[in-house]
């Protein structure tokens, strides 16, 4: 049984891996774009709540998130 | 995807007795889904443990799953490998064969191409641990163990209100659907990236390698903060992707299944609910469950692959 199923399993794993490797950069880029905005925007919001500087921390955080996110996006896009 | 009408999650475990009464009045899909997905509240953990160094060590349902999965993976893999090594002839068979296949696959096609031949033996164990733990946690989260235990409890055992069984069975659980768990995993990746760069290039050179070389100096004022923030963003993206994917599937399945009860209420007839269930909900939920099996595999794979890629980027710097 293992000898018979091995080619199928390894074959489908290989295809899966192939597809993920090709989709990898896109997945990284998209999530780092959203992740940067969420992380830095959230950080700015927390700073606001801690220091009471209402909109400015959030705004700066979102802006920094956009810049960092697009920078990471550009790095993955322009790599090849 | 959260329903707007859910009550605060912290109050829910305590209100379980009242929830049973509420069920007679109306079905609240949002509350059911949130109760299923959220961790148990800190007031009613599965197991009360003392607070040490300001950290509450009480076992909630996600902590329970975490410990359960970690122990299971550790025991399963160590006993298999030990039994294999104790044999006279080193021919793998059965589970060991599959294990060896996965280990070789990850070492040769994830770690080796990214990290490079020199550091494979340093980083393959970490990446393998990531893969086995995340895969096991994801897969166990798909199996509705606690729902089955809950059914047995409801019809056979009849345990008390705050017994161990009652506390455990509040919904199925995926340890990796908790942001704290994935954040911890991503923190390990984050530290590994720094250690990998330090091992390969020395501590100071690793930080210099973060920014591209040979640019005009005003650009560095801009680039250095961006790169430093980007350093934190990469593990955060890992955290988010794994946790969100693991939570999302459960919410989708539950939302679709709750159509049965919503339609029963809407038309005030059990027939409407049953027909919606047979025609729409159950086939869709089965389909999404099948999709979840792939997602479970892919997310474990993606987390390990990206960890290896990030570690490799710190080792093989090319700008």
Asked whether the beta carbons of A40 and A61 are under 8 A apart, the reply is yes
Residues in chain B with CB shorter than 8 Å from the CB of A28 are 237, 306, 309
> For the packed helices B179-201 and B282-315, what is the interaxial angle rounded to 10 degrees?
20
**C-beta atoms of B240 and A31 within 8 A:** yes
**Chain B interface mutation, best of A72, A73, A76, highest count of B Cβ atoms under 10 Å:** A72
Chain-chain contact of A35 with B237 (C-beta, under 8 angstroms): yes
Alpha-carbon distance of B120 to A66, in angstroms, equals 35
- B228 close to A (CB below 8 A): no
| CA gap B81, B236 in Å, rounded | 34
Contact of B289 with chain A, judged by CB distance below 8 Å, is answered with: no
Q: Is residue B109 less than 8 Å (CB to CB) from chain A?
A: yes
ipTM of the complex: 0.73
**Distance from the A30 Cα atom to the nearest Cα atom in chain B, whole angstroms:** 9
> What does B282-316 look like in DSSP terms, one character per residue?
HHHHHHHHHHHHHHHHHHHHHHHHHHHHHHHHHHS
Grouping H, G, I as helix, E, B as strand and the rest as coil, residue B9 is helix
Per-residue pLDDT of chain A (80 residues; tens, 9 = 90+): 444 555 777 777 777 777 766 776 677 777 888 888 888 888 888 888 888 777 888 888 888 888 888 888 887 777 65
Q: Are the CB atoms for B258 and B32 separated by under 8 Å?
A: yes
CA–CA min distance B248, chain A (Å): 15
Asked if A28 lies within 8 A of B237 by C-beta distance, the reply is: yes
Distance from CA of B82 to the nearest CA of A (A): 22
Cβ contact (<8 Å) for B236 and A27?
no
What token pair was written down for B262?
Answer: 């919503």
Structure tokens at B199: 């091992």
Task: Please provide the DSSP assignment of B186-197 as one string.
Answer: HHHHHHHHHHHH
- For an interface test with A, the pick among B236, B303, B308 (most A C-beta atoms closer than 10 Å) comes out as B236
Distance CA A73, CA A32 (A): 7
Query: What is the predicted pLDDT for the residue at B171?
Result: 55
Residue B281, judged by CB atoms within 10 A of its CB (0-12, 13-18, 19+), counts as buried
Candidates A13, A20, A38; nearest CB to B305:
A20
Rounded to an integer, what distance in angstroms lies between the CA atom of residue B309 and that of residue B15?
A: 46
Contact B233 A34 (CB under 8 A): no
| B244–chain A nearest CA distance, Å | 11
Domain regions of chain B by residue span = 9-315
User: What gap in Å lies between CA B135 and CA B138, rounded to an integer?
Assistant: 5
For residue B59, the 8-state DSSP code is: B
A contact set with B (CB within 8 A): 2, 10, 13, 16-17, 20-21, 24, 27-28, 31-32, 34-36, 38-40, 64, 67-69, 71-72
Chain A partners within 8 Å of B234 (Cβ): 32, 35, 72
pTM for the model stands at 0.78
What is residue A24's predicted lDDT score, i.e. its pLDDT?
Answer: 67
Q: From first to last of its 319 residues, what are the pLDDT tens digits of chain B?
A: 444 444 444 444 444 444 444 444 566 777 777 767 776 666 666 666 666 666 666 777 778 888 888 899 899 888 888 888 877 676 767 778 888 888 888 888 888 888 888 888 888 889 999 999 999 888 888 887 777 777 777 777 666 666 666 666 655 577 787 888 888 999 999 999 888 888 888 777 777 777 777 777 777 777 888 888 888 888 888 888 888 888 888 888 888 888 888 888 887 777 878 888 888 888 998 999 888 888 888 888 888 888 888 888 888 776 5
B293 Cβ under 8 Å from any chain A Cβ = no
Residue B57, both tokens: 């060590």
């Amino acid at each position: 049984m293992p000898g018979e199923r091995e080619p199928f399993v390894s074959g489908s794993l290989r295809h899966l891996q192939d597809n993920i490797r090709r989709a990898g950069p896109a997945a990284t880029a998209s999530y780092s774009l959203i992740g940067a905005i969420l992380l830095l925007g959230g950080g700015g919001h927390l700073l606001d709540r801690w220091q009471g500087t209402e909109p400015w921390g959030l705004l700066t955080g979102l802006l920094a998130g956009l810049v960092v996110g697009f920078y990471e996006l550009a790095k993955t896009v322009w790599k090849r | 995807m959260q329903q707007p009408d859910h009550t605060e999650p912290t109050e829910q475990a305590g209100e379980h007795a009242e929830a049973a009464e509420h069920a007679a009045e109306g079905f609240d899909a949002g509350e059911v889904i949130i109760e299923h997905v959220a961790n148990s509240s800190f007031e009613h953990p599965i197991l009360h443990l003392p607070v040490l160094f300001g950290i509450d060590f009480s076992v909630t349902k996600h902590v329970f799953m975490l410990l359960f999965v970690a122990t299971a993976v550790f025991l399963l893999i160590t006993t298999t490998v030990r039994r294999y090594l104790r044999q006279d002839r080193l021919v793998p068979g059965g589970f060991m064969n599959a294990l060896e296949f996965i280990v070789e696959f990850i070492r040769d096609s994830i770690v080796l191409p990214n990290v490079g031949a020199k550091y494979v033996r340093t980083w393959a164990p970490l990446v393998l641990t990531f893969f086995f733990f995340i895969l096991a946690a994801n897969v166990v989260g798909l199996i509705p163990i606690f729902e089955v235990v809950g059914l047995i409890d409801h019809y056979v055992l009849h345990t008390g209100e705050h017994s161990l069984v009652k506390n455990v069975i509040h919904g199925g659980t995926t340890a990796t659907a908790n942001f704290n768990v994935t954040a911890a995993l991503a923190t390990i990746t984050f530290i590994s990236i720094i250690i990998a760069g330090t091992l390969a290039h020395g501590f100071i050179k690793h930080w210099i390698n973060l920014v591209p070389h040979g640019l005009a100096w005003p650009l560095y004022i801009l680039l250095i903060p961006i790169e430093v923030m980007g350093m934190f963003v990469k593990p955060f993206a890992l955290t988010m992707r794994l946790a969100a994917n693991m939570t999302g599937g459960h919410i989708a399945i539950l939302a679709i299944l709750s159509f049965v009860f919503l339609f029963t209420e809407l038309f005030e007839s059990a027939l409407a609910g049953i027909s919606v269930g047979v025609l729409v909900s159950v086939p869709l939920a089965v389909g999404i469950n099948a999709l979840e099996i792939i997602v479970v595999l892919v997310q474990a794979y993606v987390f390990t692959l990206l960890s290896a890629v990030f570690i490799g980027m710190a080792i093989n710097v090319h700008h």
